[in-house]
Amino acid sequence: MRRVRAFGRFWWNFVVGDDPRAAAGIVIAIGLTAALVAGGLDAWWLMPVAVVCVLALSLHRETRGA
Amino acid sequence: MTAAFLVASAFLASAVEFVEALTIVLAAGITRGWRSSLAGLAAATVALAAIVAVLGPALTLIPISALRLVVGGLLLAFGLQWLRKAILRASGYKPLHDEEAIFAQETAEARAAGREERAGLDWYGFTLSFKGVLLEGLEVAFIVLTFGSAQGSIALAALGAGIALALVAIVGVLVRAPLARVPENTMKFAVGVMLTTFGIFWSTEGAGAHWPGDDASLPVVLGFVVALSFASVATLRRRRLAFA
């Protein structure tokens, strides 16, 4: 059980890292793109916009008070 | 164009990881003996080969749109981590990655550790080398499998990684010292940019949207991520100087 937990923690740290909010932002943006496409809008532009927002917020959190 | 981009991305990302793995193998070899260190390296290589051999064919069975959605999302989350750290380093908010300092720390820790023999090997040297190579190698395997499967050519991505491995191994054997002259911080910046570019491209396609011009838009996305990264570095540098 301890090894399974360690394995899960490794992959979490590997992919998500120290800013889970950034990863959550990416998941929301992908979901939103898929929803807009399903609604008939070819929303190819949404992910670049989302990346600008997610990166800016993540950098702001990291450098705040530094 | 996309093929060259794929090979270059896999090469750069793998080279960075192999340089880090080499530092650990060297630290273990010099302080604890080459036999244990090289045995750790060999055992980790076999474990990585088994992982790639099992996961590689399994990934090719997944429909390409589902694969691109998952791989794009994973690469974007993973790539943004690299990019954020690279931007923080370039703007002075985080210390630069220093292979010589890491080597000095690894060797000091390895010298201080007690000696325990298992299977005729110095166990500390073996596990240090094994864990280092396995963890750095897992990142390479992840990048090769995700890049390759989403682009429909694991062989091309493996070619980029293979060239990087050969180059780092040859230079490592010749130099027998950490490769401090490799512009690792610049390479990490480039890898962050490429992972994020592929992540944006594939997650958008996986979600069902279509890029104007299909694959031809990949260089445009790359230019966008490069511009965003430089703008972020410039903004953070200005802010740091204003508060200094």
Q: Does A8 touch chain B (CB under 8 A)?
A: no
Residues of B with Cβ-Cβ distance to A15 under 8 angstroms = 74, 77-78
Task: Inspect the interface and report whether the beta carbons of A15 and B208 lie closer than 8 Å.
Answer: no
- Mutation target among B67, B74, B81, B221 for the A interface, most CBs of A within 10 A: B81
| Three-state SS at B169 | helix
Residues of chain B numbered 200-239 and touching chain A (CB < 8 Å): 200, 203-204, 206-212, 221, 224-225, 228, 232, 236, 239
A6 touching B (Cβ < 8 Å):
no
Q: Residue B186: CB partners within 8 Å, gap ≥ 6?
A: none
Q: Do B93 and A38 touch (CB under 8 A)?
A: no
B66 and chain A in contact, CB less than 8 A: no
HSE of B115, CA atoms in CB hemisphere, 13 A: 9
Is residue B117 within a helix (H) or strand (E), and if so which, with residue range? strand B117-118
Residue B206: closest CA among B106, B82, B71: B71
Asked if B51 is an interface residue toward chain A (Cβ–Cβ < 8 A), one would say no
Q: What is the pLDDT along chain B (244 residues), one digit of tens a residue?
A: 578 888 888 898 888 888 888 888 888 888 888 889 899 999 999 998 888 888 877 877 788 778 888 888 988 998 899 899 999 999 988 887 777 788 788 888 877 777 777 777 788 889 889 988 988 888 888 888 888 887 778 888 888 989 998 998 888 888 777 776 777 788 888 889 988 999 999 999 999 999 998 888 989 999 999 999 999 999 999 988 887 7
Distance, C-alpha A42 to centroid of its chain: 21
Q: What is the pTM of this model?
A: 0.81
With beta carbons under 8 A apart, name residues in chain A contacting B210. 42, 44
Cβ separation A15–B77 shorter than 8 A: yes
